[in-house]
Structure formats: structure tokens, C-alpha cells
Amino acid sequence: MVGFLSLDDVDPGELHEIVGRSVDVLARPERWEQRLSGKVIGTYFAKTSTRTRTAFTTAALRLGASVVPYGPADLQLNTGESLHDTGRMFGVMLDGLVMRTAGPLEDMRLVARSGDLPVVNAMAAQEHPTQGVCDAASMLRHFGGVDGLSVLYVGEGNNTAVALGKILSTYRGVTVVFATPKEYGLDAALLGSLQEKAAASGSRIVETHDLDSVDVTVDVVYTTRWQTTGTAKPSADWREDFRPFYVDDAVMSRWPDAVFMHDLPAHRGDEVKGSVLDGDRSIAWEQARMKYGSAVAILEWVYRDF
């Protein structure tokens, strides 16, 4: 039973192959048709999703699989059935499951174990690994490589930030600066782990709570929406903590050669100014398109030996 639950579970070499394959999918989509012919894939999204749900549904269908969709109110989990029993039933009827929840990653591992079923993590509270693949693939497609890039991430240390740090730490000579509000940064233990992993690859990861203090030249300015799906802020005044991390034209002018990335959905006027998101330096919409390429590549990797 092989799934895609965390970037930590995948060998860096294989991870880079998946990233490269994501780019190849968009370049040569005809090569990937019907690879999952005869498979039945469930898609369980307990939280809202536009890009990820559409990407994995479309990817599974174009790979030849049949798709059984489940929304947040569709399963007997709502009447008290356990995740263990739900996973057992999935395992006897499905060939795999794409799952999004605001719960812990261990919930997905429980479903996978209970059903002996490949599960793809389409977002959990701790990590959004498929977004990490999409982001690295978007950089690879735009720059021609990921090694040596310098990335500034602005905003909350959420599951997208975790995935970004995990995947970029596997490349060589990369610098990642996380500019986060105080009390909304990466978990200290996780940050330390990422820094050790990056150092082993000749890369560097740092965190600051002062965007104005960032003095490195960056290739990418990346932000996410302030209200992350499935999470809540502990302070009623959290917006005041986030305002210094608003990405506008003045911020982008500090790095005139940098491109802008956003995992979407975006709230113009909150985390980003519309002129930045929709400007000619934004690759956010190509990044969104890459969700499909990375979904195909991940599903193809999960079922490569089946």
C-alpha cells in the first residue's frame, strides 16, 4: 500500500521525478491518458476546494479511472461511524482515495491502514504536500530549474508553507525566507528540522517576523491567503498582526526581477494587491494550471506498480 501522505515519506530523488513529470504532463498531456484504466478512485473533500478537487478529479478521469466523489455531508462519519470502519469499507470498494480534511495527518494514515488503501493527502492541518509539488513544478517550469533559487514566503506559517519548506529543502543551493507575523510562524521544532534538512542539501531556511528586514535578493515572492481553509486565528485582532505582510507594488519593487506566486484562492486587498496578483510578473495562474499536472504525476506515481 503506497500513498502520498507527506513529502517526508517520499525519497527526494523520486520527489524530484514527480516534480519533473508534472511539468511534462502540461507539455505532453497525451502521454498520460488511460494509465489508470479500470481503477476506481474516491475523492473525499471534507473542506472546500476548487483547484485541488478539480485537478485530481480531472486527472483521474483523463488517466482512465472512474471517480466516486464524497462531500462533507455524504459519509456516515457524520452519524458517528469511526474513521477505522470507514477506511475498511473504502478499502474493499475503492482502489484509492484522495482526501482533504482540516484534521490531523494521522487521520489519513488511519484510513490508509484500515483499508490497506493508497491515500493522497489533498490537504491536512499540518501539511499540503500536493501543493508543494505544484509549487516546485511551477518554479521548474518558469526558471528551468529549482536548484539555486531564492524564495521569499510572506504570511502565515500554514500547511502550504510547511510543504514549501519541505520540498525546497530537498534541492541544492536554495534559500527560503519565511516572513511571518509573530505567533503565526512555523512550529519551532519543524523549522529546526527543515533547517537541518536544508543544510544537508547546501540550502538555507530562515524565518523573520519583519518583512522590512529581508535583505536578500529573491527570485520568487510567494504569499497565501490570510484565512487558511479549516483554521481559525486565536486572536480577534489578528488582522492587525498580518497587515505589515501585505504584498503590494511597493513590496514587489524591492525585487524588480522577482515573479509572484500565490496558491489561491486570493483575497485582493488582504494578503495581496490586485495589481500584483494580476500583473505581468505574476505566475499565480500558471501555478494554478500546474495543479492538474502535479495531480496527474502524483496519481501516476502512486499507481506505478499496480
pLDDT tens-place values along the chain, 306 residues long: 679 999 999 999 999 999 999 999 999 988 877 889 999 999 999 999 999 999 999 999 999 999 999 999 999 999 999 999 999 999 999 999 999 998 999 999 999 999 999 999 999 999 999 999 999 999 999 999 999 999 999 999 999 999 999 999 999 999 999 999 999 999 999 999 999 999 999 999 999 999 999 999 999 999 999 987 656 787 888 999 999 999 999 999 999 999 999 999 999 999 999 999 999 999 999 999 999 999 999 999 999 876
pLDDT value of position 1: 62
Instruction: Report the C-alpha gap between 8 and 25 in whole angstroms.
Output: 24
The answer to whether the 7-127+290-302 and 131-288 domains have the same CATH topology is yes
Instruction: Report the C-alpha gap between 154 and 291 in whole angstroms.
Output: 21
Q: Environment class of residue 204 by beta-carbon count within 10 Å: exposed (0-12), middle (13-18) or buried (19+)?
A: middle
128: left (phi over 0), alpha (psi -120 to 50) or beta: beta
How big is the CA angle at 218 (ends 214 and 224), to the nearest 5 degrees? 80
Residues 6+ positions from 210 with CB-CB distance below 8 Å: 179, 244
- Please give the helix or strand (H or E) that residue 205 lies within, else none: strand 204-208
Domain spans, the chain: 7-127+290-302, 131-288
- Please give the helix or strand (H or E) that residue 121 lies within, else none: strand 119-121
- Check whether the bond before 104 is cis (ω within 30° of 0): no
Class of the CATH-defined domain 7-127+290-302 = alpha beta
- Count the residues in the chain: 306
On whether the CB atoms of residues 103 and 124 are closer than 8 A, the answer is: yes
Instruction: Report the C-alpha gap between 10 and 130 in whole angstroms.
Output: 12
DSSP letter assigned to residue 7: G
For domain 131-288, the question of CATH label 2.60.120.10 is answered with no
- And the C-alpha cell for 158? 500554514
Instruction: Report the C-alpha gap between 158 and 180 in whole angstroms.
Output: 10
- And the C-alpha cell for 195? 533547517
pLDDT value of position 229: 63
pLDDT value of position 230: 58
Instruction: Report the C-alpha gap between 10 and 167 in whole angstroms.
Output: 10
pLDDT value of position 306: 64
